[in-house]
Chains A and B, each alone.
Chain A
Amino acid sequence: MEAIENKVVEPPSEESILVEAARSGNIGAFESLVRRYDRNVFRIAQHITQNREDAEDVVQDAFLKAYQNLGQFQGQSKFYTWLVRIAVNEALMRLRRRRPERMVSIDEDVKTEEDSMPREIADWSPNPEQQYTQSELKDILGKTIQGLPPSFRTVFVLRDVEGLSTEETASALELSVPAVKSRLLRARLQLRERLNKYFKRRDGDSRP
């Protein structure tokens, strides 16, 4: 006997209504999609390229490509995940152009597990980020994430900064879920290790 499935028909999301309208030539609908996601795409682009001008170009090129290829968007994934995939590819292409001497690929699997094993186990001060001004903190975080391989910082930014799920990150990067998890673990551990020197508890810090 066949199992009876209760199929729940969900109402179309605001995003899918805008995408459908944009596909039918409503440029105003596409403009709304740009406004909805331009900040996210810029953040992702700058995290990957680590260059402001490149990030600006990536945002423009990614949205233009999305507009030109709306007809090919199947609607199997969210529009945002599809847009992120386009933006990540554009950003990696820019990075390759800027650093032709280094292989830049989302597939690169840098070294082994040992590169992420914690070396320094030091507890941090309570609210360590408050020891620095906003601009000092941004400088520290920027320099720290810049030191990660592009494939690690891409996974970290999508998953932990932008809040995509592991599955959405895998889909946007065309990686398997285990590959995303492995890179994410190593990215998180490497960032933690590098932030130790700024945030670790020093003698004289009051206990929480």
Chain B
Amino acid sequence: MKCSEFLKELTDYLDDTMDPNTKAELEEHLQWCHNCYVVCNTTKRTIEIYRGSQLYELPDELRSRIHSAIMTKCKCHQNSLEAVESVKDDGVATTGEKPS
């Protein structure tokens, strides 16, 4: 296996979504190819570091402000829908009335 072929399979290898035969071939390559071993290892660490970094966490204060804004807008939308429905209902009732 060439290093370029190893690289192509790296994502499936790291995600452990490959058939056992290909996996065995890749692991055999890793036994003797130090460069691919380093690339594989440092790529795995890259993912782990980002995953555990808590980069861009939502602070509590901002979270509660955003939350209130969302719910206010949703309630506004709900109220306007209900207003439209009630106008429709009134319209139906009016048009549905038989002249006495």
Q: Which of these, B12, B35, B58, B77, contacts A121 with CB under 8 Å?
A: B35
Most chain A Cβ neighbours within 10 Å, of B14, B17, B38, B51: B38
**Count of chain A to chain B residue pairs whose CB atoms are closer than 8 Å in the complex:** 118
Nearest Cβ in chain B — how far from A123, in angstroms? 5
Known contacts A27-B75, A47-B56, A124-B45: A160-B11 contact under CB 8 Å: no
A188–B70 CA distance with the chains assembled, in angstroms: 34
Would A43 and B11 count as touching, CB distance under 8 A?
no
Would B71 and A27 count as touching, CB distance under 8 A?
yes
In the complex, what residue of chain A is closest to B40 when comparing beta carbons?
A: A192
Would B74 and A141 count as touching, CB distance under 8 A?
no
In the complex, what residue of chain B is closest to A188 when comparing beta carbons?
A: B43
Known contacts A67-B77, A161-B51: A31-B71 contact under CB 8 Å: yes
**Interface-lining segment among A6-14, A33-41, A73-81:** A33-41
Known contacts A31-B71, A42-B56, A145-B50: A192-B42 contact under CB 8 Å: yes
Question: Dominant SS at the A interface?
Answer: helix
Instruction: Type the 1/0 row for B25-54, where 1 means its CB is closer than 8 Å to any CB of A.
Output: 000000000010011011101110111011
Would A60 and B45 count as touching, CB distance under 8 A?
no
- Interface membership of A110, Cβ < 8 A: no
Would A121 and B39 count as touching, CB distance under 8 A?
yes
Known contacts A141-B50, A145-B50: A39-B63 contact under CB 8 Å: yes
Q: Which of these, A43, A59, A195, contacts B66 with CB under 8 Å?
A: A59
What is the interface of chain A, defined by CB distance below 8 A to chain B? Answer: 25, 27, 30-31, 34-35, 38-39, 42-43, 46-47, 55-56, 59-60, 63-64, 67-68, 117-118, 121-124, 128-129, 137-138, 141-142, 145, 156, 160-161, 163, 166, 181, 184-185, 188-189, 191-192, 195-196, 199
Identify 22 residue pairs between A and B in the complex whose beta-carbon atoms are under 8 Å apart, listed by A's number. Answer: A34-B70, A39-B63, A43-B57, A46-B56, A47-B56, A64-B70, A64-B74, A68-B77, A118-B7, A118-B39, A128-B49, A129-B49, A166-B15, A166-B17, A184-B11, A185-B7, A185-B8, A188-B47, A191-B46, A191-B50, A192-B42, A199-B45
